[in-house]
Amino acid sequence: MRNIKNNWLVQVIGFVLVLIMTGLTAQGLSRIMPPYYLQIGFFIGINVIMALGLNLIAGATGQLSLGHSAFMSIGAYASAIATVTLHLPFPVGILLGGLAACLFGIVIGFPTLRLSGDYLAIATLGFAEIVRVIFTNMQITGGAIGFLGIKNLTTFPVIMILTVAMIAVMMWLENSRNGRAMLAVREDEIAAESVGVNITWYKIQAFAIGSFCAGVGGALFAHTTTFIQPTDFGFMKSIEFLNMVVLGGLGSIPGTIIGSVVLTTAPEFLRFMANYRMLVYGLLLIIMMIFRPHGLLGGFNFRQAISRALFLGRRIRQGAKV
């Protein structure tokens, strides 16, 4: 036990060091990178956080949500109100954004998670539309005109540290009793219950954590663009995140990261096509689904591949023929 405790301390310190290194590297990069690329870097980070949240809900726990952008908008507006209206510091704003979204995730989750499959999808879609309409008509959010005057507080190190932390947390979660219970809910609800998994509890948990991620992503987004309006968080935005998760391979964390990076940079790469950009994007989605329906990584097991590669390396060193 003592040994484990010491190990744990070493791990915690190691993790903090990794975060500090990430922050420093990002700091350095932000000095030398051209603003255009840096901007893309910002959005990659935000989208990875957003997509990881959705991956937990849709990929790991199997609950199709078409309203992820609503939670993002709740986080964005909550954090903007916190920093602009209430003059709170930015980290508090991020936290409040995350918590506000998380709270709504739980409130929405309780009644709607009884629904299954497509019905849940349409309920979350409806919820997202309602949130958008409410934000359009609220005074404090600036209504349809949008929320002006948000300070540009998001920095590259902040985004990168949060992204790395989020990836780590998601990977740890996936490999725990808690995460396995979520996977069980996705695979077979009845079988999961038969071994003692309280399916409602894990669905709510997934919604809460996923929404928290979306809220944090929204807070970072608001303080990057400095101006938000309800149309930023429409139905198509939710679909974009779903695409990121599915493109990489539903339920796979590395897949989600790759999907987010690809889909964030793809419009930039396609920029030379000007007006034809979205046309190609739509086509790519269709082609992608036809030829790689399980995502770019579809069923590719990272951990296994790495250990296999390492094992192979050892065998080669030992002089075995491959």
Partner 1 sequence: MKDLMQQLINGLALGSIYALIALGYTMVYGIISLINFAYGEIYMFGAFTGLILAATYKTNVVVALLGGMMLSLVLGVLIERVAYKPLRRSSRLSALISTIGVSIFLSTLMVLLKGPNTQGFPKLFENKVYAIGNFQITIYQIVIIGVAAFLMLALHLFVTYTRTGRAMRATAQDQDAAGLMGVNIDRIIATTFAIGSSLAGAAGVLAGIYFNAVQPYMGTMAGLKAFAAAVLGGIGSIPGAMLGGLMIGLLEVLSVTVNLSEYKDAFAFGILILVLLVKPSGIMGQKINKKV
Partner 2 sequence: MNILELQNVTISFGGLTAVDKLDIQVKSGEILSLIGPNGAGKSTVFNLITGLYKPSDGAILFQSEALTGSPPYRIAKKGITRTFQSIRLFSELSVLHNVLIGTHVLGQAGLFHSIIRSPLMHSEEKELREKAMAALDFLGLADKEHEKAKNLSYGEQRRLEIARALVSNPKILLLDEPAAGMNPFEKTVLMDIIRKIRDTGVTIFLVEHDMTLVMGISERIVVLDYGKKIAEGSPVKIRQNDSVIEAYLGSGQFRSRIRRKETGAC
Which positions lie near partner 1, rule CB under 8 A?
64, 111-112, 114-116, 118-119, 121-123, 125-127, 129-130, 133-134, 136-137, 190, 235-236, 239, 242-243, 246, 250, 275-276, 278-279, 281-286, 288-290, 293-294
Give the integer Cα–Cα distance in Å for 152 and 229. Answer: 16
Give the integer Cα–Cα distance in Å for 79 and 91. Answer: 9
Contacts of 282 (CB under 8 A, 6+ apart): none
**Nearest CB to partner 1, comparing residues 23 and 234:** 234
Minimum CB separation from partner 2 for residue 223, in Å? 25
Pick one of partner 1, partner 2, none as the site partner of residue 300 (Cβ within 5 to 8 A by kind): none
Minimum CB separation from partner 2 for residue 209, in Å? 8
Minimum CB separation from partner 2 for residue 64, in Å? 16
Binding track over 197-226 against partner 2, x by CB under 8 A: xxx-----x---x-----------------
* Of the candidate residues 169, 270, 284, 296, the single one contacting partner 2 (CB under 8 A): 169
H, E, C per residue of 224-279: HHCCECHHHHCHHHHHHHHHHHHHHCCCCHHHHHHHHHHHHHHHHHHHHHHHHHHH
Binding track over 255-284 against partner 2, x by CB under 8 A: ------------------------------
4 binds partner 2 (CB under 8 A): yes
3-state secondary structure of 200: helix
107 binds partner 2 (CB under 8 A): no
Tokens describing residue 136: 């359009």
Give the integer Cα–Cα distance in Å for 284 and 78. Answer: 35
Instruction: Return the closest-CA partner of residue 258 out of 307, 210, 227, 302.
Output: 302
* Contact yes or no for 108/57 (Cβ under 8 A): no
Minimum CB separation from partner 1 for residue 315, in Å? 37
For residue 138, what are the CA distances in angstroms to 102, 105, 270?
A: 21, 20, 37
Write down the residue that tokens 């947390």 correspond to.
Answer: 169
* CA angle, 205 then 210 then 216, to 5°: 130
Minimum CB separation from partner 2 for residue 174, in Å? 9
Pick one of partner 2, partner 1, none as the site partner of residue 278 (Cβ within 5 to 8 A by kind): partner 1
Minimum CB separation from partner 1 for residue 193, in Å? 11
11 binds partner 2 (CB under 8 A): yes
Interface with partner 2 (CB under 8 A): 1, 4-5, 7-8, 11, 169, 172-173, 176-181, 183-184, 187-188, 190-199, 205, 209, 304
